[in-house]
Amino acid sequence: MSPASFLVVPQWQGSGSSRAMRLIDGAEAIRGDLPTTATHSVAVPAAAGEALGTGVLRYSSLTLVRELAEAELAVLEAPIVTIGGDCAADLASVQHAVASHPAGSVAVVWFDAHGDLNSVSTSPSGAFHGMVVRALLGDGPDGLAATGPARLHHEQLVLAGTRALDDGESAFVDHIGIRVVGPDGFDDPQTLVAAVEATGASAVYLHIDLDVLDPAAVDGIGFPEPFGVSPEQLSDAIRALRARFELVGAAITEFAPESPEAAGRDLPVILRVLGALTGPLRDVG
């Protein structure tokens, strides 16, 4: 694997949390441990933005961030690891990775306690971080929904560690047959490898929302869900996927520490995950 490039996108406008601004602090805390020469950043606007009749809160700022991120992605060497920000911080990164490779060759593994599969009509909040995957599948407002070669097909998607779906999301998953590997599937890393092999892909993009982890492992997350995976299980799964497939991009999102001191307590876990994404591979069994 070539050395990774890093793109810091401290976007908070996609979040539905009243503490969304903490996502800026989380991204900056992680940035402090990244190699300066390999790290670029997106100047996220300070303005919240307007929905503009789309049903997506802060839509105008979200589309601007996507455009700014696209410009940065065009000059970075792959694989690019995006540091968020909310779960939509790597919207452009996923689309860039999918569009840069032959159709069907990239699987997206969405490590997240939640599905992020709501549409504008099913979203209970209007917050875009709960609609990101649906937009990647092509369903969303102009400027956010993937189109053409950037559009992800549901056969290339694997939800990993997911354990909290809204009713509309569950119905959608069942209707179109999205692959889901719950926390129990992390006991053996090869379970996730097999799920990606079933997509027929030769490469993977790994999106990691830190709430995929059990809340006992990390404090600085806005929407914790019980019975998540351990840092060891997540790291082993990442390494197993990297050992089997080309890594074409990744992201770590939704770090929202309440203080610099709290960030310091969580960073060892986050850096362990980052090391699994970018460090040398060891025997994963």
Q: Tell me the per-residue pLDDT of 143-192, one tens digit each, with 9 for 90 and over.
A: 999 999 999 999 999 999 999 999 999 999 999 999 999 999 999 999 99
CA nearest to 264, candidates 218, 213, 208, 199: 218
- What 8-state DSSP symbol labels residue 153? P
CB contact at 8 A, 152 and 91: no
pLDDT given for residue 89 in this prediction: 98
What percent of the chain has pLDDT above 70?
Answer: 99
CB contact at 8 A, 11 and 88: yes
Per-residue pLDDT, averaged over 218-247, amounts to 97
Cα atoms in the 13 Å half-sphere on the side-chain side of 94: 31
CB contact at 8 A, 229 and 186: yes
pLDDT given for residue 284 in this prediction: 47
The pLDDT of residue 130 is above 90: yes
Residue 194: which H helix or E strand, with range? helix 189-197
Average pLDDT of the chain to the nearest whole number: 96
The pLDDT of residue 87 is above 50: yes
pLDDT given for residue 252 in this prediction: 98
Q: How confident is the model at residue 1 (pLDDT cuts 50, 70, 90)?
A: low
- In 161-268 the beta strands, taken as DSSP E runs, fall at 179-181, 203-209, 246-253
Q: How confident is the model at residue 3 (pLDDT cuts 50, 70, 90)?
A: confident
pLDDT given for residue 285 in this prediction: 47
pLDDT given for residue 283 in this prediction: 57
The pLDDT of residue 102 is above 70: yes
d(CA 9, CA 248): 18
d(CA 9, CA 27): 7
Residue type at 74 in one-letter notation: A
The pLDDT of residue 272 is above 80: yes
Tokens 């929905």, located at residue = 51
- What 8-state DSSP symbol labels residue 152? P
The pLDDT of residue 49 is above 80: yes
d(CA 227, CA 37): 38
Query: 12-39, pLDDT tens digit by residue?
Result: 999 999 999 999 999 999 999 999 999 9
What percent of the chain has pLDDT above 90?
Answer: 97
d(CA 161, CA 111): 6
For residue 234, report the phi and psi dihedrals to the nearest 5 degrees. Answer: -65, -45
Buried b (16+ CB within 10 A) or exposed e, 89-123: bbbbbbbbbbbbbeeebbbbbbbbbbbbbbbbebb
Q: CA-based diameter of the chain, in Å?
A: 51
CB contact at 8 A, 149 and 98: yes
The pLDDT of residue 141 is above 60: yes
The pLDDT of residue 91 is above 60: yes
Tokens 């992800």, located at residue = 152
pLDDT given for residue 257 in this prediction: 98
Strand partners, 30: none
Q: How confident is the model at residue 2 (pLDDT cuts 50, 70, 90)?
A: confident
Per-residue pLDDT, averaged over 238-259, amounts to 98
The two tokens of residue 228 are 């998540």
The pLDDT of residue 67 is above 70: yes
The pLDDT of residue 282 is above 90: no
d(CA 67, CA 284): 38
pLDDT given for residue 137 in this prediction: 98
Whole-prediction pTM:
0.97
